[in-house]
């Protein structure tokens, strides 16, 4: 992981946890957890997705293929619902009122999306991750 991205993710998580603890700025807290999850979880999600493909790829039976299709569909569905929950109910709407569990879902969301491999959501998350990486590179350039 890029040191600048790690710094941004770590700071976002620390500030987000502080805000979460004090029950302040729930939308911003969810956004900070999403940034932290992007920095931390993108790589974890890719590793989980590769592990799932490897395990399911070694099973050559018809049943194994059906289990693989079912697991992929279920994971993609969870990724889509979680994304909609975070973006629409937790961040987007003016009158949105995030629940206490929204930040934790936002922290896990990048891992779920990358593990699911849902193309549209992966592209959106990769664009968001590129923005975090750019900021992280700028921060590491200032410090070094």
Angle value at C-alpha 91, between 86 and 92, nearest 5 degrees:
110
Distance CA 83, CA 30 (A): 12
Distance CA 133, CA 136 (A): 5
Residues spanned by the domain of 120: 3-143
> What is the structure's pLDDT at 15?
94
Per the CB < 8 A criterion, the answer to whether 33 and 91 are in contact is no
For 39-74, write each residue's pLDDT tens digit.
Answer: 777 566 666 666 766 666 655 566 666 666 666 677
Burial classification of residue 33, based on how many CB atoms lie within 10 Å of its CB (0-12 exposed, 13-18 middle, 19 or more buried): buried
Number of domains in the chain: 1
> What is the structure's pLDDT at 2?
64
Distance CA 114, CA 76 (A): 9
For 126-137, write each residue's pLDDT tens digit.
Answer: 787 778 777 777
């Amino acid at each position: 992981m890029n040191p600048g991205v790690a710094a941004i993710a770590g700071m976002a998580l620390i500030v987000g946890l502080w805000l979460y603890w004090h029950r302040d700025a729930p939308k911003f807290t969810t956004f900070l957890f999403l940034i932290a999850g992007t920095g931390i979880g993108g790589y974890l999600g890719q590793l989980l997705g590769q592990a799932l493909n490897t395990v399911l790829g070694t099973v050559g039976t018809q049943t194994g293929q059906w289990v693989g299709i079912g697991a992929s569909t279920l994971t993609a569905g969870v990724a889509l619902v979680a994304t909609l929950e975070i973006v629409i109910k937790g961040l987007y709407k003016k009158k949105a009122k995030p629940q206490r569990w929204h930040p934790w879902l936002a922290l896990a969301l990048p891992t779920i999306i990358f593990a699911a491999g849902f193309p549209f959501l992966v592209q959106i998350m990769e664009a968001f991750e590129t923005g975090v990486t750019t900021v992280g590179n700028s921060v590491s350039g200032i410090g070094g």
